[in-house]
């Protein structure tokens, strides 16, 4: 198999695993963009979930854009099993990795081409594209980590990553 770092697509055995639009992500944004509901925010490509537990790999292509002042971002999730971490390598673009634990502590890591991010399984993780080109990244995880999206949909992350209007970003409490 081979990954195209520009497009995030796989040559060989890669599959399209999912697409999220602005409409799908509406619960996560403070602003609304009801006229743009069908616009794709991100797509994921990789291999199918393995049984029994196995190491997994996928790429995500997160487009550049804003909903109100808030940058395009992934939903973010906790792992059900906090002993299962994850690693992330940036292939193209620039972004921010937002991390938060269940005590509402948070951290943000800058992401740029070649940066490697080691995610503790007890911290929720979300990727935000703060650049002007697609943000393409490769993620590895164990298939039995379990994905808890509901906690984020209910409570969100403690901070939002907003445009500062001059091609930079600012971090504000939710």
Binding site for Mn ion (CB under 5 A): 86
Q: Which is nearer to Mn ion, 43 or 86 (by Cβ)?
A: 86
Q: What minimum distance in Å lies between the beta carbon of 170 and Mn ion?
A: 25
Q: Which is nearer to Mn ion, 155 or 170 (by Cβ)?
A: 155
Q: Which is nearer to Mn ion, 70 or 86 (by Cβ)?
A: 86
Q: What minimum distance in Å lies between the beta carbon of 145 and Mn ion?
A: 6
Residue whose beta carbon is closest to Mn ion: 86
Structure-token pair, residue 156: 């969100």
CB count in 10 Å sphere of residue 124? 24
Q: Determine the Cα–Cα distance for residues 2 and 128; give it in Å rounded to an integer.
A: 25
Q: Is-contact 96 111, C-beta < 8 A? A: yes
Burial degree of 152 (CB within 10 A; 0-12, 13-18, 19+): buried
């Amino acid at each position: 198999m081979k990954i195209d770092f520009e497009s995030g697509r796989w040559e060989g055995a890669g599959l399209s695993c999912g697409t999220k639009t602005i409409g799908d992500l509406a619960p996560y944004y403070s602003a609304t963009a009801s006229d743009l509901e069908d616009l794709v925010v991100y797509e994921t490509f990789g291999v199918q979930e393995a049984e029994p537990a196995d190491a997994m790999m996928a790429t995500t292509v997160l487009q550049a854009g804003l909903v109100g002042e808030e940058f395009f971002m992934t939903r973010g999730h906790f792992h059900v099993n906090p002993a299962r971490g994850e690693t992330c390598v940036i292939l193209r673009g620039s972004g921010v990795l937002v991390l938060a634990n269940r005590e509402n502590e948070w951290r943000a890591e800058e992401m740029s081409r070649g940066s490697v991010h080691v995610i503790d399984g007890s911290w929720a993780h979300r990727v935000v594209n703060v650049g002007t080109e697609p943000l393409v990244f490769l993620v590895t995880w164990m298939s039995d980590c379990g994905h808890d999206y509901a906690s984020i949909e209910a409570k969100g992350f403690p901070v939002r990553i907003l445009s500062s209007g001059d091609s930079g970003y600012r971090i504000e409490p939710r």
